[in-house]
């Protein structure tokens, strides 16, 4: 049973909760309108090969007139080519609710777009969903570079030759709730200074050690700030180069970050960013008040990518949590118009640098090529409507993780986000794993 100790939500968790509340309030306004929803017969919308896929469609007719027409569906591949479709005639009496089952033919292993459409007397609408079929059978067709592991081993050795020069500077103006805040600074790959924030119990006992939650940033440059929660653990909010308070040397636009020095695998920004996470672990191991045997690394989106990559390279990390990790199976995204591929294509055209050469660099930074070395217990959340981290790409990475040492949460109706309930689970899970009661 999970420990119910609370350590608090970060800002993005609170925002997600507010959005959820707003959606519930909106859905409750049913009088004088038609409200409908479609739910798969399986909670996570994951089915076995050739198993019939069923969506239960509930239609609430709040109007004063009967509604007649059709309820239909289309199944499409991720290339938007239609695979199958059908429709049924429906009638919903005035101010009443009716349920219908749409039965979709089974499919082969993969992910599919499902469009469910209602066309009745005074209402037309479309619900878009994604369904998965035998996703554990999804494998990437792109081979891992033969020298991938040696490339990263050499990179770690290069980092090891650079003295960390760790510094902690107390920030009395930021402390609260019996929690001290320290600015953390250290030297990382390329002798670049990276920084973060350590929050830790103020009135500590002599020789007391604290488990550590290492939080790494998502994409966008804002970075992570001090996090306050339970005083039973310490939190290191650590900004990799070009993010938050580590952007004095590398300071790019939001678009420019992804392609910084991409023409060389040895100079590409993510080589340094991943090593910054390893340097964060070095800092933790250097501090007597931090328990380096009880460390979890976590993040969402780019932070999820960094968390899995770092945990795959550094056996000192005990736990890993990643939500909607990006940058999985890059080559299958070719032709995709969404981020991150859109930024690579713009760069390729502007610099007249061939996409094949960009992919040749990205092969060394593809998360699926890291994950076969992920040995620690992990908690991973993905969402099936996520266009930035498509589910098939996520499974290309997940299916490389050995021994199935991860707990997966799948959210069929969300995009590049996870619900607040997952952060509650994460809080309780890490506290249990750390033995904090």
Per DSSP (E only), the strands in 23-77 are 34-40, 46-47, 53-61, 67-76
Residue 76 burial by Cβ neighbours in a 10 Å radius (0-12, 13-18, 19+): middle
According to DSSP H, which parts of 266-354 are helical?
A: 269-286, 302-313, 341-351
**What's the confidence (pLDDT) of residue 30?**
54
**CATH topology assigned to domain 31-135:** Immunoglobulin-like (2.60.40)
Of 9-23, 109-123, 189-203, 287-301, least confident by mean pLDDT is: 9-23
Task: Tell me: pLDDT of 264 over 80.
Answer: yes
Reported as type and span, the H/E element at residue 382 is strand 377-383
What are the boundaries of each domain within the chain? 31-135, 148-434
Q: Average pLDDT of 124-133? A: 97
Which residue is associated with the tokens 């092969």?
A: 363
pLDDT in tens, 11-58: 434 433 343 334 333 344 356 899 999 999 999 999 998 899 999 999
Q: Among positive and negative, which fits the CA dihedral 244, 248, 250, 254? A: positive
| Ramachandran angles phi, psi of 396, nearest 5° | -60, -35
pLDDT in tens, 222-241: 999 999 999 999 999 999 99
Reported as type and span, the H/E element at residue 114 is strand 110-120
**What's the confidence (pLDDT) of residue 335?**
87
Peptide bond into 140 cis (omega under 30): no
Give Cβ neighbours of residue 182 (< 8 Å, ≥ 6 apart): 168, 169, 170, 171, 197, 198, 199, 200
**What percentage of residues in the chain have a pLDDT greater than 90?**
88
- Rounded CA gap, 348 and 340, in Å? 13
**What's the confidence (pLDDT) of residue 16?**
38
What CATH superfamily is the domain 148-434? Answer: Alpha/Beta hydrolase fold, catalytic domain (3.40.50.1820)
**What's the confidence (pLDDT) of residue 290?**
98
- Rounded CA gap, 409 and 328, in Å? 17
Please provide the average confidence, as pLDDT, over all residues in the chain.
92
Split at pLDDT 50, 70, 90, the class of 289 is: very high
Q: Average pLDDT of 132-138? A: 96
Model pTM? 0.91
**What's the confidence (pLDDT) of residue 4?**
36
- The closest alpha carbon to 342, from 250, 259, 225, belongs to 259
Task: Tell me: pLDDT of 263 over 70.
Answer: yes
**What's the confidence (pLDDT) of residue 437?**
74
**Dihedral, 199, 202, 204, 208 alpha carbons, nearest 10:** 0
């Amino acid at each position: 049973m999970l420990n119910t100790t609370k350590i608090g939500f970060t800002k993005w968790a609170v925002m997600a909760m507010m959005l959820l509340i707003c959606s519930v309030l909106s859905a409750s306004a049913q009088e004088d309108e038609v409200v409908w929803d479609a739910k798969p017969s399986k909670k996570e919308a994951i089915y076995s090969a050739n198993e019939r896929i069923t969506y239960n469609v509930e239609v609430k007719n709040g109007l004063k007139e009967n509604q007649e027409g059709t309820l239909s569906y289309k199944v499409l591949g991720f290339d938007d080519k239609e695979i199958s479709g059908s429709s049924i005639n429906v009638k919903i009496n005035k101010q009443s609710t009716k349920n219908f089952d749409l039965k979709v033919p089974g499919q082969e292993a993969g992910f599919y777009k499902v469009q469910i459409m209602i066309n009745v007397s005074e209402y037309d609408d479309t619900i878009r969903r994604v369904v998965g079929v035998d996703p554990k059978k999804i494998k990437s067709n792109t081979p891992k570079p033969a020298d991938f592991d040696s490339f990263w081993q050499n990179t770690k050795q290069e980092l090891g030759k650079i003295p960390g020069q760790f510094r902690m500077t107390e920030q009395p103006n930021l402390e609260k709730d019996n929690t001290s805040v320290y600015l953390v600074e250290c030297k990382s790959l390329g002798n670049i200074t990276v920084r973060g924030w350590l929050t830790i119990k103020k009135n500590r006992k002599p020789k007391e050690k604290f488990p550590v939650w290492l939080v790494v940033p998502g994409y966008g440059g804002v970075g992570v700030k001090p996090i306050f929660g339970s005083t039973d653990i310490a939190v290191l909010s650590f900004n990799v180069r070009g993010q938050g308070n580590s952007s004095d040397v590398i300071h790019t636009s939001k678009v420019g970050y992804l392609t910084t020095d991409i023409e060389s695998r040895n100079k590409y920004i993510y080589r340094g960013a991943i090593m910054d996470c390893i340097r964060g672990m070095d800092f933790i191991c250097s501090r007597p008040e931090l328990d380096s045997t009880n460390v979890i690394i976590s993040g969402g989106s780019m932070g999820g990518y960094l968390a899995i990559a770092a945990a795959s390279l550094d056996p000192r990390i005990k736990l890993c949590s990643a939500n909607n990790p990006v940058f999985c199976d890059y080559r299958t995204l070719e032709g995709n118009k969404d981020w991150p591929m859109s930024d690579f294509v713009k760069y390729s055209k502007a610099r007249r640098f061939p996409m094949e050469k960009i992919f040749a660099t990205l092969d060394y930074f593809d998360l699926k090529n890291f994950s076969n070395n992920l040995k620690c217990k992990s908690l991973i959340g993905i969402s099936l409507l996520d266009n930035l981290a498509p589910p098939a790409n996520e499974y290309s990475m997940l299916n490389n993780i050995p021994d199935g040492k991860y707990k997966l949460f799948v959210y069929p109706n969300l995009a590049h986000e996870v619900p607040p309930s997952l952060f509650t689970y994460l809080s309780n899970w890490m506290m249990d794993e750390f033995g904090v009661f």
